[in-house]
Structure 1
Amino acid sequence: MRLFAAETWLPALLALQANVVNAQANSPNCTTKTQFFTQLVEHNSTANGTFQQQYQILKSHFKPGGPIFYYQQAETGTLPVCTPSNLLQERTIYPEWAEEIVGMVISLEHRFFGLSDASNATDPVEKYRSLTLENVMLDAVTFISHVKHTIPGANESKVIVSGGSYGGFLTTVIKMNYPEVFFGAVPYAPPLRSIGANYQNLRRYDWFNWVYWDLSAAAASKMRDAFTLLAKRFENLGEVEDIAKDLNLCTVPKTAAGLQLVMGVIATNAELIPLLSFSSPDANPYGATPQKLVNITLSAKRPIDIVNATLTLRNPPELVPCIAWDTNQSAEATLQKAPFNHLTCNYFPLSVNEIPEGNILPPTSVQTETDPMTCETLYKLIPPTQAEVEAKWHISRADLIQAPRIIFAYAENDPTSGVGIHPFPPSPYRNASRWVMTSLAAHGEESIASFEGDKPSVVHARRVQLETIKEWLGLY
């Protein structure tokens, strides 16, 4: 029996996250200034409208013919500022790789995010008309051409594209559709098998479940019992005052729908603990890890203490005095919901929060990032299916196995691995695409700049990836 129906959990959660990020982030100065590039609004059109698209180039170690690492920006405006929450290319592993193999690192801000606004229209249908996957890919292709023709010695450089999460999806699609431009690719945590309502939606929270059971069966069983008890309490609206007090909520949920949102915030925080369990304090200023939650759970005397730990590990009480659950706006400056909602309707319709029976968390019905009704009423779009996306953009399993020089990088602590692609069969050819899993790593953790406290598994994964790229480039 499903205890909770579909609700929009993400806005409240992002606002909750932003309070902590904004309180803890100390913004360093960017060492390399960004610039702007004149880009076409519509690439496959006779119209000649343009907009200014922001980019950054790091080339202090570049030598003629060296590789170009193209970092595919995703759904945040990350170029104008350098903050721990943004993790733009200066805070990725790519400058270190570029130094080792005399390459450069370049990045282009995603259209409609940050300062790269491609339309001044106010009507959402008109404003985002050019936010198509074709245009996003051709933005990258055109930018690569610009770089190769304006930087001396770059004309013959091979391009390695990479990005994480949605950026990992883009990385995969770009490499598959423009192999003549992008020589190799490293997509981190690409959710390639959770497009629309498909049978694999359950796997994200299946994976979440395994993270905790693998760390401690005793803790996982206590967590399951604590959440089951909380779900039972949520069935009784007479308990809402006590629930609000026990969970330190900013306001009291008065309805069953309100309680669903509260449970959604709890469940998503619980998922984010392993997903974002980076070693680097830049990427994980809270220091939240699944092992910490396991330790708290094992020593907890009351079930409610276990539930509260899923919230306070990512929202320290000294920074977040109470838990907000009923906001529809994100305070996170780097997340722009409107264009992201549009692209999830148009070509990346995620469906990721189906929690099945038997999970640590209470079961829910499917919830998409942008539900089909919103897509049709707000943007006049019908989201594509998994099969349609795979066929149109050539990312079926058969397509990916045949494609050369792609490293699909997944992580043990990342529930996104549950909706990624399956492992590839082994190949004797080093140029063959491959699937790699990094033990104890978080969501795309290998792509973050190295840190003295890095997990040994992450250090090893980075070395595997770079040595593979060296072979691709014919350096050995």
Structure 2
Amino acid sequence: MRLLSAELWFPALLALQANVVKAQANSPNCTTKTEFFTQLVEHNSTANGTFQQQYQILKPHFKPGGPIFYYQQTETGTFACLVYISESPQSCTCPDLLQERTNYPAWADEIGGMVISLEHRFFGLSDASNATDPIEKYKSLTLENVMLDAVTFISHIKHTIPGAKDSKVIVSGGSYGGFLTTVLKMNYPEVFYGAVPYAPPLRSIGANYQNPRRYDWFNWVYWDLSAAAASKMRDAFTWLAQRFENLGEVEDIAKDLNLCTVPKTAADLRLVMGVIATNAELIPLLSYSSPDANPYGATPQKLVNITLRAKEPIDIVNATLTLRNPPNLVPCIAWDTDQSAEASLQKAPFNYLTCNYFPLIVNEIAEGNILPPTSAQTETDPMTCETLYGLVPPTQAEVEAKWHISRADLIQAPRIIFAYAENDPTSGVGIHPFPPSPDRNASRWMMTSLAAHGEESIASFAGDKPSVVHARRVQLETIKEWLGLY
């Protein structure tokens, strides 16, 4: 387990945190193998050739005319292989791949549908270029091409699977996949009948000064659980920041925080604070009930309980780190690595697309937060994007206008469920609640209490929070109405 440096800390919060378990290789029980589809490198031209794009289909209970659930794959470097909730983690469905245990197969089975999924171009085995120069390699990594990958694939499915020609398509995905889910529905409404974007960060774009408080949501999580604990946390981090001002204390700081190496400069200490801040946000963001998705069992309530019992500030700071990095698995805290906290995140193409069409600006902690104010340059920074790729990231207004995702556009669009969660800092950059409508086909906004990042999208688990179970049922019943099943 490695932590991420400050240059990468907050982008990892928006990377879809794959809720996965390791598949068993070479199992005789593999039932849903992946295949490959020939896709154009540039959809507006055949001159650039083709590439092979990995996909998966689950259709054992599909009935002619039944819906198609299209699961939008994201920035993971390993195909997130869909499995049935009835299958145990030990029953392999995709050898040597990661298994994404979602609730989509259960939905499809209940209403006679199928589930399909297509790997995102330039991720995993779906590489569209052999070039090594990043500017040349990723020039076809555009939002237009990503959307047309999905549109072309779905057309292929409808024309090759008996009974699927007139099937309505429901698209869903989380985080960056939630952004893609939204733009697919808004730009190709004739293809995507309905959409369920989980935790889409639709308001995360633009310079920090435009909305420096955009990621204060995790701040609210701790205050809402316990004002007394949040106050102690704030005081502990303030105390730590004061210690960081004295470089003469770096040896003691390294010892107190169990750092793998000793910070040498003020910039190093900012990196250490970035790692602490990342963990403070990841604890609520990834506080799933399922042990598959949250193997450490870290929750904001656990941090609150430790904080309330803590006698010394350093105990609170260390709890922020050790809840997600247990000492028996992580002997020391690596603060100076450039490796992402999410091992499956494939950073190079993701960094490119954040400069090209999904410009996350998520590196600011403003005054008044539990954590000390800080900022760090990321790949999405305009200067970095121009240096690395010769790109100038679009603004929030440009993205909203070009891809038709302004608030007014989204309210007018039918059949979208924007699903956010109380414990998820990404909710702070989601869209605001929609006005109520008596029309059950109108798009709706919902917040799941005590839930983590897209938690209701995960396959059901015996220890699920009641709020998550209810959210899943609300979403499924709404989809049934969209499809005219009632």
- Normalising by structure 1, what TM-score? 0.93
Query: How far 1:335 sits from its partner (Å)?
Result: 1.3
For 1:459 and 1:142, the matched residues in 2 are separated by 34
Query: How far 1:260 sits from its partner (Å)?
Result: 0.4
Change in Cα spacing, 1:2 to 1:365, as seen in structure 2 (3 Å) is: farther
Query: How far 1:61 sits from its partner (Å)?
Result: 1.1
Matched with 2:390 is: 380
Matched with 1:58 is: 58
Contact 2:354 2:360 in 1 (8 A): yes
Contact 1:11 1:327 in 2 (8 A): no
Change in Cα spacing, 1:359 to 1:412, as seen in structure 2 (3 Å) is: same
1:269-322 deviations in Å (ceiling 9; x for gaps): 110000000000000001000000000000011100100001100011000000
Change in Cα spacing, 1:427 to 1:23, as seen in structure 2 (3 Å) is: closer
SS of the residue 1:36 aligns to: strand
Contact 1:441 1:458 in 2 (8 A): yes
Contact 1:248 1:322 in 2 (8 A): yes
Change in Cα spacing, 1:12 to 1:233, as seen in structure 2 (3 Å) is: farther
Contact 2:27 2:95 in 1 (8 A): no
1:214-260 deviations in Å (ceiling 9; x for gaps): 00011000000000000000011000000000000000010111000
Residues 1:275 and 2:285 aligned together: yes
Matches within 5 A, 1:5-404: 7-9=7-9, 31-78=31-78, 90-197=100-207, 201-330=211-340, 333-365=343-375, 367-404=377-414
Contact 1:28 1:83 in 2 (8 A): no
Change in Cα spacing, 1:200 to 1:436, as seen in structure 2 (3 Å) is: farther
Query: How far 1:138 sits from its partner (Å)?
Result: 0.2
For 1:462 and 1:407, the matched residues in 2 are separated by 11
Contact 2:142 2:357 in 1 (8 A): yes
SS of the residue 2:210 aligns to: coil
Change in Cα spacing, 1:12 to 1:132, as seen in structure 2 (3 Å) is: closer
Query: How far 1:88 sits from its partner (Å)?
Result: 6.5
Contact 1:71 1:107 in 2 (8 A): yes
Contact 2:4 2:335 in 1 (8 A): no
Change in Cα spacing, 1:383 to 1:150, as seen in structure 2 (3 Å) is: same
For 1:307 and 1:165, the matched residues in 2 are separated by 28
For 2:27 and 2:332, the matched residues in 1 are separated by 25
- Normalising by structure 2, what TM-score? 0.91
1:323-378 deviations in Å (ceiling 9; x for gaps): 00111234855211100000000000101132111110001136445322221111
1:144-177 deviations in Å (ceiling 9; x for gaps): 0111111111111000000000000000001000
SS of the residue 1:49 aligns to: strand
For 1:49 and 1:207, the matched residues in 2 are separated by 45
SS of the residue 1:401 aligns to: helix
1:409-454 deviations in Å (ceiling 9; x for gaps): 0000001001100000001100000000000000000000000000
1:2-46 deviations in Å (ceiling 9; x for gaps): 999985436999999999999999999753110000000000124
Contact 1:77 1:109 in 2 (8 A): no
1:369-409 deviations in Å (ceiling 9; x for gaps): 53222211111100000000000000000000000000000
SS of the residue 1:9 aligns to: coil
Contact 1:201 1:351 in 2 (8 A): no
Greater mean alpha carbon deviation, residues 324-333 or residues 448-457: 324-333
Change in Cα spacing, 1:12 to 1:23, as seen in structure 2 (3 Å) is: farther
Any unmatched runs of 5+ in structure 1? none
Change in Cα spacing, 1:139 to 1:368, as seen in structure 2 (3 Å) is: same
For 1:199 and 1:380, the matched residues in 2 are separated by 23
Identity of aligned residues (%): 91
For 1:401 and 1:250, the matched residues in 2 are separated by 50
1:437-473 deviations in Å (ceiling 9; x for gaps): 0000000000000000000000000000000000000
Greater mean alpha carbon deviation, residues 5-14 or residues 423-432: 5-14
Change in Cα spacing, 1:313 to 1:30, as seen in structure 2 (3 Å) is: farther
Query: How far 1:196 sits from its partner (Å)?
Result: 2.5
Tell me the matched-pair count.
Answer: 473
1:166-224 deviations in Å (ceiling 9; x for gaps): 00000000100000000000000000001121566434432111100000011000000
Contact 1:168 1:190 in 2 (8 A): yes
Change in Cα spacing, 1:352 to 1:30, as seen in structure 2 (3 Å) is: farther
For 2:350 and 2:38, the matched residues in 1 are separated by 22
Contact 1:70 1:160 in 2 (8 A): yes
Change in Cα spacing, 1:97 to 1:3, as seen in structure 2 (3 Å) is: closer
For 2:258 and 2:229, the matched residues in 1 are separated by 23
SS of the residue 2:209 aligns to: coil
Q: Note the aligned Cα RMSD (angstroms).
A: 3.9
Contact 1:13 1:269 in 2 (8 A): no
For 1:181 and 1:17, the matched residues in 2 are separated by 27
Greater mean alpha carbon deviation, residues 213-222 or residues 2-11: 2-11
Contact 1:12 1:325 in 2 (8 A): no
For 2:410 and 2:189, the matched residues in 1 are separated by 12
